[in-house]
Structure formats: C-alpha cells, structure tokens
Amino acid sequence: MNEVVEIKVLKDYRVWLRFKDDEVKIVNLRPFLGKGFTAELLDPSKFEKVFIEPGGGIAWENGYDFCPNFLKELEGEKVELA
C-alpha cells in the first residue's frame, strides 16, 4: 500500500513527498486549488499547514485531502536519491 511518510512544502503550491517505498517526487497541487473550500488554501500560510494523515495521505485543517494512491500516480518531478 502506498503511504506518504515525509512531506515538505515548497514554493508555488508544490510539495516534496517521500513514500514508504522510498520513492521521492515533487508534485504541483495548484491545479486542485481555488474552487469551493479549496480556495482558502491559496493563502500560503494555510497551504503550509499540510500534514500526513494516519492512512498515509495528506490533508489540511479544512478537511481537504489527497489519497496516497492518487499522489503516487500523479505526474510529478522524480527526485533521485543521492
């Protein structure tokens, strides 16, 4: 099962993710923000409050979340581990 085990917030609504299998990538979440209750996450101070949920997905205080399987399949920048 896919699980996010580490997350770092980057500029421009991008996040650095490390998955349980040690895959690391950067994804742009901006296309998913701006309508309905996601509009508040365009405020960088609110976006930065993202956290990892118990099931390995990511979420914010307003209840918006992303399933780890979706994040794993989402097109992103692959990051090679040194």
Read off the pLDDT of residues 14-26 as tens digits, 9 standing for 90 and up. 999 999 999 999 9
Angle (nearest 5°) at CA 38 between 4 and 57: 15
Alpha-carbon distance 23 to 4, whole Å? 9
pLDDT on residue 75: 84
Question: In terms of residue numbers, what domain contains 64?
Answer: 4-78
**pTM of the shown model:** 0.90
What are the tens digits of pLDDT across the range 45-79?
A: 999 999 999 999 999 999 999 999 999 999 887 77
> Exposed (0-12), middle (13-18) or buried (19+): which is 8, by Cβ within 10 Å?
exposed
Q: How many domains does the chain have?
A: 1
Alpha-carbon distance 60 to 53, whole Å? 9
Q: Is the pLDDT of residue 82 over 60?
A: no
Would you state the structure tokens that stand for residue 58, as one six-digit string? 């990511």
Would you state the structure tokens that stand for residue 40, as one six-digit string? 């508040």
CATH of the domain at 71: 3.30.2020.10
